[in-house]
Chains A and B, each alone.
Chain A
Amino acid sequence: MAEASWLTKFPQMDHSQLLSIRKTLDSAYRDFSRSYGDAIEAFFDPLLYFLVWLEKLLLSSPWWAVILAVTALAYAASRSWKLSLGVVAAFLAIGYFGMWDNTMRTMSIITVCTLISIVLGIPIGILMARSDRARSVITPVLDVMQTMPAFVYLIPVVMLLGIGKIPGVIAVVIYAIPPVIRLTNLGIRLVDREVLEAAVAYGANGWQRLFGVQLPLAMPTIMAGINQTIMMALAMVVIASMIGVKGLGQPVLKSITNQYFTMGLFNGLAIVALAIIFDRVSQAYAKRSQRHMEGIKSA
């Protein structure tokens, strides 16, 4: 019976062997965090200072100044009075329902996460578009980042960096950066080969082709990627608050565990409102930049 048991039962690793692997890796990670934790924390300190500064700035500014600034940004990006009025209305409602402070906290961390994602994501996307080998390495990494359950890597990160903003930013960026990378890559790869040939014929060098032809033509696709990144960053707000990030996620967690449905709905809607504002503004900006390009084309 023993000889043929592998036919009926999967010949799995011996339990004690598996256990020793798990224990070895765990204690290796603990040793790593013990010896390098402080140094890695110090590396992230500037980012932490910036996050704390931005949050304090948003929290200590008078509410009308914040609304004014955000509305001005929205108008500058979209040139639409309707959208700007919508932004004002959304923020007034958020403030009226007593969610102002948490919304400011969430807005500050999401803004930073989106900026980090864009600053890191677009160059990686460009790299991916230029080299097939880079693409074949990066694609599976992006798949892992998007599907790995967040707590699998969050708790090790918490052991390394403690709870709070930095692990929160790491979690959000890991989840939110893939769309901008993927769509930057896609946008550049979709640029017409003949347009590129024409650029070469005019004597454009590599940089000129990239910044003068490929990136502008890929812009609508890249903007779609940035949009998705913003949406996914906001979707991670609740997960981030599970490792101590202050903001709209905390009341959501509280309402989930206590079944305060209305409180959950209000805070959830505030997250949605932020998402819609971020999305509409960046989309309007993208459309404007696209129209501007169409103008050049038809001219």
Chain B
Amino acid sequence: MLLATSISAFTAESCGKVTIADMNWNSASVMANIDRFILQQGYGCDAELIPGDTMPTSTSMTEKGEPDIAPELWSNSTKEALDKGVAEKRLRYAGKSLADGGEEGFWVPKYLVDKDPSIATIAGVVANAKLFKNPEDPDRSAFYGCPAGWACQISAGNLFKALKLEEAGFELIDPGSGAGLSGSIARAYERRKPWFGYYWAPTAILGKYQMVKVDFGTGIDEAHYIDCISKEDCEKPRVTMYPPSPVHTVTTEDFATKAPQAYDYLTRRAFKNNQMNQLLAWMEENQADGEVAMEHFLRNYESIWTPWVSAAVAAKIKKGLSNL
């Protein structure tokens, strides 16, 4: 321990400039802010946030080595590119930023299930297809899929096929963007209307609006999910629930070799889903951005973050915190 801290004090000088991708959703943004503060205060890095999004950031990291850190990367969505980057020694998976992994699925609002418990299963949803009105086509029902171009568009589309939802009268609606999809949930929820579609957790939306994951009654067939459901050319998709989606902290190889102590922190920085949901709910409640939430987290959840760093670094961070 002593040795480790003395090394960290030594390497602090050489950490240098570090760029962190600040993704445009809350959980990633709060992690980016926490990383920035801890790297700055605890490891003496000259850390800077730059705006990011899954695809552009991962591409830029493999191709250009910039930014250095992506705190929350849903690695399934760019798996091939990331694995290639790791194989070519450009990238490293530092660790899982969400220890339990992300949770994906098809969801319905809880008030629907309260009214009719059968809707919690796919058979119930299909039997009640007429409930889920499609505003642009009165003869069809609406299933809100995943926005165009996202990796989940492929998996949601394949499951849509496997569940024979089209035959059941559903139309797969492309919401176009994450904001469009969450907007459609908010609209339905505020007016207690039926809604059926793809979403994922941990997110502020699922923290704020209580939704029930529809049970396909099949359990998880992870091999089939990886081989077929997540692939665009999946010919015979079979029904399976979503396996937990790995969510990684990814860094560039440069950063990992240049600042091993800081990298070591990143390998340990991980949230459990219930911790993150709690934090996201607080952010939503207070309309807080990543920076405000970072301060709230570091001040109030010491027991979570102190194990991520050595005692000496923790002391430095606390000192930095008292200067805020």
Interface size class on chain B is 20 to 34
Contact B180 A158 (CB under 8 A): yes
B-binding segment of A30-38, A133-141, A228-236, A279-287: A30-38
Contact A33 B174 (CB under 8 A): no
Interface string of A230-254 (1 = CB under 8 A from B): 0000000000011111100111011
A49: shortest Cβ distance to chain B, in Å?
10
Contact B149 A159 (CB under 8 A): no
With an 8 A cutoff between CB atoms, is A130 at the interface? no
B99: shortest Cβ distance to chain A, in Å?
27
Contact B149 A34 (CB under 8 A): no
Contact B177 A250 (CB under 8 A): no
Chain A residues in 8 Å Cβ range of B181: 163
With an 8 A cutoff between CB atoms, is B320 at the interface? no
User: Cα distance A259–B57 when bound, in Å?
Assistant: 12
Residues of B within 8 A of A (CB): 55, 59, 135-137, 144, 147-150, 153, 173-177, 179-181, 183-184, 186-187, 190-191, 286-287
User: Cα distance A38–B187 when bound, in Å?
Assistant: 11
Chain A residues in 8 Å Cβ range of B177: 242-243, 253
Contact partner, A159, options B55, B59, B147, B183, Cβ 8 Å? B183
Contact partner, B179, options A30, A155, A258, Cβ 8 Å? A155
The 8 closest A-B pairs by CB, nearest first: A257-B149, A158-B183, A254-B149, A242-B177, A254-B148, A242-B176, A243-B180, A253-B148
User: Cα distance A254–B191 when bound, in Å?
Assistant: 31
Interface string of A149-186 (1 = CB under 8 A from B): 00100110011111111000000000000000000000
With an 8 A cutoff between CB atoms, is A48 at the interface? yes
Which residues of A39-60 are within 8 A (CB) of B? 41, 48, 52
Contact partner, B135, options A162, A243, A255, Cβ 8 Å? A162
Contact B148 A251 (CB under 8 A): yes
Given contacts A37-B191, A254-B149, A257-B150, contact A245 B176 (CB under 8 A): yes
B111: shortest Cβ distance to chain A, in Å?
14
B189: shortest Cβ distance to chain A, in Å?
10
Which residues of A182-201 are within 8 A (CB) of B? none
Extra contacts besides A30-B190, A162-B135 (5): CB < 8 Å? A161-B187, A242-B180, A251-B148, A253-B176, A259-B59
Contact A159 B176 (CB under 8 A): no
Chain B residues in 8 Å Cβ range of A160: 187
Chain B residues in 8 Å Cβ range of A161: 187
B197: shortest Cβ distance to chain A, in Å?
11
User: Cα distance A160–B135 when bound, in Å?
Assistant: 13
Chain A residues in 8 Å Cβ range of B153: 254
Chain B residues in 8 Å Cβ range of A256: 149
User: Cα distance A243–B148 when bound, in Å?
Assistant: 11
Chain B residues in 8 Å Cβ range of A148: none
Chain A residues in 8 Å Cβ range of B174: 244, 246, 250
Contact B136 A33 (CB under 8 A): no
Contact A259 B190 (CB under 8 A): no
User: Cα distance A214–B42 when bound, in Å?
Assistant: 72
Closest chain B residue, CB of each to CB of A31:
B190
User: Cα distance A40–B48 when bound, in Å?
Assistant: 45
Show 28 A/B contacts (Cβ-Cβ < 8 Å), sorted by A: A19-B287, A34-B190, A38-B191, A52-B136, A154-B179, A158-B180, A158-B183, A159-B187, A162-B184, A162-B187, A163-B144, A163-B180, A163-B183, A164-B135, A164-B136, A164-B173, A241-B148, A242-B180, A243-B177, A243-B179, A243-B183, A244-B180, A250-B148, A253-B176, A254-B148, A254-B149, A258-B55, A259-B55
